[in-house]
Amino acid sequence: MAKIDPWGSSSISNYEHVFKAFGLKEFPDSMRSALKHRFFKRKIVIAHRDFEKVLKRIKQKKPFINITGIASSGQYHLGHKADIDLFVFFKEQGAKNYFCVCDIDAYASRPKILTLDDAKEIAVQNAADALALGLSEKDIYVQSNRDKKYYCFAFEIGKKITAKTFEAIYGHLDLGKVSANLLQYADIMHGQLPEYSGKMPSITGIGLDQDPHARATRDIAKRLSYDIEVPSFIYFRHQSGLKEGSKMSASEPDTAIFLNDSEAEVKRKVGNCFTGGRNTAEEQRRLGGNPDVCKKYEIDLFHLEDNKKIKDIFDKCKAGKRLCGDCKKLTTEYLQAFLKKHQAKAKKNLPKAKKIVYGK
Ligand code: SF4
């Protein structure tokens, strides 16, 4: 039986096998054409559960809930930026927005974070990044500063999942992760309670490795005493780390490009990342490179907005008309330019971010 571990560190490559094992639907081309974002066109969104309900609301120009949470043990990296880019896209489609900075989850499930105060400090940086990427203050909340109803709801959810079920889904009963998960389920569903936006379809974009959370949430939603829609999910293609076979990790600085990285760090990291290039320039000209395994090309695929440039990089790489040195230079330069602007915006948003986290 296939196993997906949301806390694991290896990448998932056999998507079809995973779809089949867990009953995910492949994201159909007919839906892609209706959604004008690069993640759909470029097949970065690969699968879904009940996305039809949300698409119908978008087409009817009716509201739906847009909910995403990020638990980070440090600064956000480009993987988190991709989550937020998708969140911003749904915000622009008329959603009711719930972006959660999961500070309690991060504290409870990441051994590296020693105190809740440390988690809150990280949350301030994370919220400033989310604001700089296009969210407003009212789109964001932190778990540690949410209202009473949210916590009561998390406890009500606790009664709907047994230790046995939890163990069957996640393979362990780590109490920190159990408590973090109860909040995570509440994050996804609380927006549909009458105290918030009320019953309506909701969408959450997640990595394929987070599917155990989605399955648990959907199962609980069907058994709650509240009348709510079963949450819908869309699944990202895995955005891997900069090294071969690695995952981007906030705890391992060299696996990812972070939103606070300096120009020199970006240059070093892109310069050292794993590519699909050949051993020599002569071989590359003769045989072409392999963008499908190239981490630099993967960064472009997720973050370079220009579709023509992406196609040009892919085609010329394959044809041996591009060498990795020049190719890395292009990526280094646009990332450096983006991050310079982003870091200035995030700095400006720090007072707002502190208010979100500490309430003053
Ligand atoms: Fe990757 Fe560019 Fe090298 Fe092709 S030429 S393998 S896309 S770095």
Report the C-alpha gap between 147 and 241 in whole angstroms: 36
Q: Return all residues near 184 (Cβ < 8 A) that are at least 6 apart.
A: 69, 102, 105, 213, 217
Q: Ligand 1 within 6 A of 291 CB?
A: yes
Strands (E), the chain: 25-26, 45-49, 65-70, 96-101, 140-142, 202-207, 232-236
d(CA 69, CA 321) in angstroms, rounded, equals: 41
Asked if 96 and 73 sit in the same domain, the reply is yes
Report whether 277 contacts 262 (CB < 8 A).
Answer: no
Ligand 1: atom nearest CA of 322 is 5
Give the Å distance between the CA of 353 and the centre of ligand 1.
38
Structure tokens at 79: 């993987």
Q: How far, in Å, is the centroid of ligand 1 from the Cα of 290?
A: 7
The residue type of 135 is: L
Is the pTM above the cut of 0.85?
A: yes
Q: Same structural domain for residues 257 and 215?
A: no
State the pLDDT at residue 17.
Answer: 75
Q: Is residue 31 part of a domain?
A: yes
Report the separation in Å between the CA atom of 274 and the middle of ligand 1, taken as the mean of its atom positions.
Answer: 9
* pLDDT averaged over 10-residue windows placed end to end, the chain, 360 residues: 45 65 88 91 93 97 97 92 97 98 92 94 98 98 96 95 87 84 96 98 92 93 96 89 81 89 97 94 94 94 93 94 95 98 98 95
Q: Is the dihedral of CA 165, 166, 171, 172 positive or negative?
A: negative
Angle 292-323-272 from CA coordinates, rounded to 5° = 70
Q: Give the pLDDT score at 250.
A: 73
Q: What is 69-134 written as a DSSP string?
A: EE--SSS-BHHHHHHHHHHHHHHHTTPEEEEEE-HHHHHHH-TT---HHHHHHHHHHHHHHHHHTT
Q: Which atom of ligand 1 is nearest to the CA of 290?
A: 6
Residue 10: inside a domain: no
Q: Which amino acid is at 252?
A: E
Q: What's the gap in Å between 279 CA and the centre of ligand 1?
A: 12
Residue 96 sits in the same domain as residue 211: yes
Note down the domain range covering 284. Answer: 253-348
Do 272 and 237 reside in the same domain of the chain? no
Domain count for the chain: 2
Per-residue pLDDT reduced to its tens digit, 125-146: 999 999 999 999 999 999 999 9
Top mutation candidate among 296, 302, 310, 335 for ligand 1, by most atoms within 8 Å of CB: 296
Does any domain span residue 61? yes
The last residue of a domain, from among 242, 274, 290 = 242
Cα separation, 82 vs 91, whole angstroms: 14
Do 62 and 150 lie in one domain? The reply is yes
Which residue, of 242, 264, 296, is where some domain finishes?
A: 242
- Look at residue 248 and tell me if it is in a domain: no
Considering the domain architecture, whether residues 153 and 223 belong to the same structural domain is answered as yes
Same domain, yes or no: 207 and 313? no
Total residues belonging to the chain: 360
Atom of ligand 1 nearest to the CA of 294: 1
Name the one residue in this structure whose structure tokens are 């695929």: 301
Claim to verify: residue 132 and residue 258 sit in the same structural domain: no
DSSP H helix total and E strand total for the chain:
17, 7
Give the count of beta carbons closer than 10 Å to the beta carbon of residue 83: 22
Residues 276 and 184 grouped into a single domain = no
DSSP letter, residue 143: G
Asked if residue 294 has its Cβ within 6 Å of ligand 1, the reply is yes
Residue 9 lies in a domain: no
Probe residue for ligand 1, chosen from 327, 329, 332, 333 as the CB with the greatest number of ligand atoms within 8 Å: 327
Residue having the nearest C-alpha atom to atom 3 of ligand 1? 324
Closest residue by Cα to residue 81 from 252, 210, 250: 250
The answer to whether residue 228 sits within a structural domain is yes
Q: Is 288's C-beta closer than 6 angstroms to any atom of ligand 1?
A: no
Cβ(84) – ligand 1 distance below 6 Å: no
CATH code, domain carrying 305: 1.10.240.10
Distance from residue 271's CA to the centre of ligand 1 (Å): 11
- Residue 5 forms part of a structural domain: no
Last residue of a domain, one of 242, 277, 302: 242
So what's the pLDDT on residue 221?
Answer: 97
Does ligand 1 lie within 6 Å of residue 322's CB atom?
Answer: yes
Protein residue whose Cα sits closest to atom 5 of ligand 1: 324
d(CA 5, CA 212): 8
Judge whether 133 lies within some domain.
yes
CATH at residue 190: 3.40.50.620
Q: Ligand 1: distance of its center to the CA of 278 in Å?
A: 9
How many angstroms separate the alpha carbon of residue 81 from the centre of ligand 1?
Answer: 22
Same domain, residue pair 220 and 339: no
Distance 317 CA to ligand 1 centre (A): 6
Do residue 268 and residue 232 come from a single domain? no
pLDDT at 79: 92
The CA R_g of the chain, rounded to the nearest whole Å, is: 20
* C-beta of residue 67 within 8 angstroms of C-beta of residue 187: yes
Check whether residue 163 and residue 121 sit in a common domain.
yes
Contacts of 120 (CB under 8 A, 6+ apart): 103, 142, 144, 357, 358
